[in-house]
Amino acid sequence: MISIEYFSNEIAGLPIDSITETLPVLVSLESRELGDITLIFCIDEELLAINKEHLDHDYYTDIITFNYNNDSIVSGDLFISVDRIKDNATQLGVSMEEELHRVCYHGVLHLVGYNDKTDQEIEVMRAKENFYLNKLFHVKH
């Protein structure tokens, strides 16, 4: 089940309906079973504090994924910075909604086992993100 939470009330109302529809499809196409995935939307400073506390990283990021998988059942928390989504969308010349989908897909791809530490892993991750954007997002927009 996909659930949505907001750390900050001023960011409620994001265009997330298609995310809650497409994330289960992504999990299924990766031959996994959907458990509980929570999308937690916050601002930069909130995600920076989480990054410092849990990962010992002192920089802004667009998403932090906490994996609670149990065998093939995909579960986790995705902490997402709306500020980074907006900035990334502007820099990449895409809509905020598209960038929001990319980041959420990225987090779920981490949950199903993809990493992005090496150049090769980053290449595979980007290819997967683009595949799911084309298959699940672009066909509806």
pLDDT digits (tens, 9 = 90+) for 27-39: 999 999 999 999 9
pLDDT of residue 8: 64
**Between vectors from CA 86 to CA 93 and to CA 11, what angle results, nearest 5°?**
150
Among 134, 127, 47, CA closest to 84: 47
Question: What type of residue sits at position 27?
Answer: V
Q: What is the C-alpha end-to-end distance of the chain, expressed in Å?
A: 24
Percentage above 70 pLDDT, the chain = 95
Q: What is the pLDDT of residues 84-99, one digit of tens each?
A: 999 999 999 999 999 9
pLDDT higher than threshold 80 for residue 23:
yes
- Higher pLDDT pick, 11 / 74: 74
Q: What is the pTM of this model?
A: 0.92
Give the H or E element holding residue 120: helix 119-132
CATH code of 85's domain: 3.40.390.30
CA–CA dist 18, 80 (Å, integer) = 16
Instruction: Report how many domains make up the chain.
Output: 1
58-78 mean pLDDT: 94
Residue 111 domain boundaries = 2-137
pLDDT on residue 9: 62
- Residue 12: pLDDT above 80? no
DSSP classification of residue 10: G
